[in-house]
């Protein structure tokens, strides 16, 4: 679900990100955000430098920088699962 909230810029050029959105994206004091110019406006992306765990509609989501190349991790995980399945169906 997309949340749209109207806010104002204060005299110092700051905007407030509502608490629910900050919590959903693990934004805390000193969290980094990335501002991007889009065709239709400004896009704010949460910085990855602050890992967090969130409950998104009953699913636990971990947001952080990968500790290894993700393709290598997926390849090894697939190989391990294939070996387990092959072992389980062996006679």
Distance of CA 43 to the CA centre of its chain: 15
- The pLDDT assigned to 50 comes to 63
Q: Contact, 30 vs 47, CB < 8 A?
A: no
Residue 40 domain boundaries: 19-89
**Band of the pLDDT at 91, cuts 50, 70, 90?**
low
The reply to whether 2 falls in a domain is: no
The reply to whether 9 falls in a domain is: no
| Helix segments in the chain, DSSP class H | 19-24, 70-89
- The pLDDT assigned to 7 comes to 87
Residue 69: is its pLDDT beyond 90? no
- Output the CA torsion 46→51→57→59 (10° steps): 140
The reply to whether 4 falls in a domain is: no
The reply to whether 62 falls in a domain is: yes
- The pLDDT assigned to 78 comes to 93
Tell me the pLDDT tens digit for each residue of 1-52.
Answer: 677 888 889 999 999 998 888 888 888 888 888 899 989 899 888 876 667 7
């Amino acid at each position: 679900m997309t949340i749209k909230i109207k806010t104002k810029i204060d005299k110092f050029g700051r905007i407030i990100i509502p608490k629910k959105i900050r919590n959903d994206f693990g934004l805390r004091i000193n969290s980094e955000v990335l501002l991007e110019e889009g065709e239709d406006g400004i896009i704010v992306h949460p910085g990855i430098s602050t890992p967090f765990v969130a409950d998104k509609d009953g699913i636990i989501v971990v947001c952080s920088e990968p500790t290894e190349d993700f393709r290598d991790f997926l390849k090894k995980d697939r190989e391990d699962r294939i070996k387990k399945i092959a072992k389980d169906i062996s006679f």
